[in-house]
A and B are shown apart, each in its own frame.
Chain A
């Protein structure tokens, strides 16, 4: 038996997605920039994807720009937008952003911009008082993620937008939606830049998108043939984009997706609590976090040891986030949220998909109970 509970790291492409990509490569392989008729259909297929993504965000399709994934979209949003402004500016970013956002801001800081890193509380909400004070020096760009990748925390974006618009109406607002897109409803009309990634919603790797509100100026990070409105040169990844569209269509077709995911998460947490009564929930309450991410500390056992033990039983999850599991450090996100280093070291992240089965959830919880009981007997003395 296997249980794949690492859907925030990546998801398995559906058969429909694989088929859509194969069809695109077999039949629609033309370069969208070519002048003959079949190439036009490639162009149309891209437009169909733009419409699908834009529709999910309640925005116009012309604002959708394809990239090689979430990292490129985040880099372009942050560095591209600030590069289009004059002079040294004030920038605000939340402390728990993904490295592709945080590192981009750090780069801008080395170039002379002033950076405010916004603290978060134990439930992943921004420090509103700090934000209010920081807004006194009107920022050029504010960035905050929609769903925290490690804890599933949902920062109150409408509140953040309200606060920023009130004191700094000129500021651009960027939201990294990689972990939230389509799983947590979002209206992008209130903001300026929004990042998406296909492989988190059962699409292929290597394709993502950035929503850019018309009128927002960006300096491209990749120069060449002028594709994507000259903001992202390079021959378009049409099979990836076809797969992205199919994935979005399929996700949207799942009725009451949020409730479905939340039901699975509730069930997983209930079973974990039965199996390990002193397991500790990290981040927001089950009900107020994202419906597909659960972060739990299992006392006395390092997350990495627990992860490998689970792996031995065919249960896959991650410590902190998959990107940082190669570094031998405690998750800075969990520390920023106020966890003790011990508790942060015990943390595991489980992330669900609408296709996660009940059997998987039951099996994973049972294995957790057994393995944790064994492993916790061996503590460093």
Chain B
């Protein structure tokens, strides 16, 4: 008799011929997540099993962070022996009170009792042993589950996991990571869909400080822990900002700046073998996030730009940030000590042609090349 973690996967069920590939990847990701605990993971019978860990809570915490899983249940693995099963059911339900039901599932048809019989028999045993419990087959407070497979598994309840698709099955993308609340959440959301994410950060020293950079790296570390770490490309951006400020119309400053970020990000993405960009933009949040402004920045990107937060309210984004653990770091000050480059009256409905014309005062190719060459790589 030992304790195992019974892991159910989510959307991978929907896959057709690709399913074995997704499952291999998923099992590998679970294995990697629990390996530091000395535990092992294996795929069997459309479940992933984890065993060998001393700290069950930590194993649950780690496994529920793996993308592509639906839920987990800490379960007892028993011999396929009715008496042993009944004894464990009694033991596990002893501290409970309220309503319950037994849900048995017999995959191994050689077991002498069928599911209905097991439900009735075990329900009776539990009821006899614990006066605080009543049966409710419709809406029980406690669901006592039994699965008869290669072994018998008994558990109560399930813990929801992160959902999504297995990391590494969705290709690679590059996240534009600022020190704010939104971009780390955007990165997380795409990782959840199986995308391997690295990040690019635009650094405007002395208008932002070393501490601001440290904060961004810390965010990358937190988000990276949901995958296999995150590389951050730190791009020296001050020179471009100064040139935009000097040579372009004030009201287009932010837009032109965003366009340069896109150009540089595309270039770095290619070097990182990434095929798309990710931003934390949310429609209408600021002047550069109107439909017209987004069209204007997208016009210089030659790969898809994903904006997973586009329809979310600030509060919804904040809630996710709190849940994934980036909110506190994002809320640190010293984000940006510059208002120099913030237009007082930014254009909210820009036309691409007008912005492109205004930009001609700058040598885009040279600026992008210099920025990319000066880029520093930090692996978190």
Q: Of B209, B333, B338, which one neighbours A327 at CB under 8 angstroms?
A: B333
Tell me the bound Cα distance from A137 to B341 in angstroms.
52
Contact of B340 among A312, A326, A378 (CB under 8 A): A378
Selected from B208, B334, B344, the residue in CB contact (under 8 A) with A328 is B334
| Cβ 8 A contact of A302, one of B334, B337, B344 | B337
A380 to B333 Cα, complex, angstroms = 21
Q: Among A306, A308, A379, which residue has the most Cβ atoms of chain B within 10 A?
A: A308
Contact-residue bracket for chain B: 20 to 34
A305 to B343 alpha-carbon distance, docked (Å): 18
Q: Which residues of B contact A379 (CB under 8 A)?
A: 340
CB pair A308 B340 closer than 8 Å: no
| Closest residue of B by beta carbon distance from A379 | B340
Give complex CA distance A155, B344 in Å.
41
Shortest CB-to-CB span from A300 to chain B, Å, is 10
Please tell me if A304 contacts chain B, counting CB pairs below 8 Å: yes
Which listed segment binds A: B242-250, B256-264, B306-314, B321-329? Answer: B242-250
Contact A309–B242 (Cβ < 8 Å)? no
- Given contacts A378-B246, A380-B342, A380-B344, whether A326 and B206 have CB atoms under 8 Å apart is no
The answer to whether B246 and A308 have CB atoms under 8 Å apart is no
Q: Could you say which of B209, B210, B340 contacts A380, with CB atoms under 8 Å apart? A: B340
Q: B287 CB to closest chain A CB, in angstroms?
A: 16
The distance in angstroms between the C-alpha atoms of A308 and B344, with both chains bound, is: 24
Chain B residues contacting A121 (CB-CB under 8 Å) are none
Query: B205 contacts which chain A residues (CB < 8 A)?
Result: 308, 312
**With A and B bound together, what is the CA distance between A377 and B241 in angstroms?**
13
291-313 of chain A: CB within 8 A of chain B = 302, 304-309, 311-312
Report how far A307 CA is from B205 CA in the complex, Å.
11
Q: Is A381 part of the contact surface with B, judged by Cβ < 8 Å?
A: yes
Is residue B339 contacting chain A, with contact meaning CB distance below 8 A? Answer: yes
Q: Does B42 contact A (CB under 8 A)?
A: no
**Contact residue among B207, B210, B250, B342 (Cβ-Cβ distance under 8 Å from A305):** B207
Add 9 more A-B contacts to A302-B339, A326-B334, A378-B242 (CB < 8 A): A302-B340, A304-B209, A305-B206, A305-B337, A305-B340, A308-B206, A311-B206, A326-B333, A378-B246
Report 24 cross-chain contacts, Cβ distance below 8 Å, ordered by A residue.
A302-B339, A302-B340, A304-B337, A305-B206, A305-B207, A305-B337, A306-B206, A307-B206, A308-B205, A308-B209, A308-B337, A311-B206, A311-B210, A312-B206, A327-B333, A328-B333, A328-B337, A377-B246, A378-B242, A379-B340, A380-B340, A380-B342, A381-B250, A381-B343
